Amino acid sequence: KLMKTDIKEKGNIYVLDMELPGYAKEDIKAELKDGYLTVTATKKSETNEGGEESKYIRRERFEGTSKRSFYVGEYLHEDDIKAEYKDGVLKLEIPKEPEPVKEEPKMITIQ
């Protein structure tokens, strides 16, 4: 399975560690839309080294695009999320959604 992710709670944030070995930082995109954080990673196919004389006998390494989405709440802005890619792991720090304030009903005086 691609894009294996660990999610842990750390104080008032969630920390996501996503495995993306073999990807360049430029090939990873993180997008926030409608309360969902979507991570997309694209691995481009390598050109066939050795010219026309060489061909693959077996090809097991993944190439193409992988995508994973997580609901993070609609209150967040992209500036709230911290992202770092190091040693094949994308680390995302996402603030927790604050508890909704329960509004008490207000009585209207009828005259």
The CA–CA distances, whole Å, from 9 to 46, 59, 92 equal 38, 38, 12
> What's the whole-model pTM score?
0.76
Local confidence band at 20 (pLDDT 50, 70, 90 cut-offs): very high
> Structurally, what CATH architecture does the domain formed by 5-95 represent?
Sandwich (2.60)
Q: Looking at residue 1, what is its pLDDT?
A: 61
* pLDDT at 27 > cutoff 70: yes
Q: Write the pLDDT tens digit of every residue in 48-80.
A: 565 677 788 888 888 889 999 999 988 888 999
Residues 86/14, Cβ–Cβ less than 8 Å: no
The pLDDT value recorded for residue 51 is 62
Residue 36 sits at the vertex; the CA angle it makes with 30 and 37, to the nearest 5 degrees, is 20
Q: Where are the domains of the chain?
A: 5-95
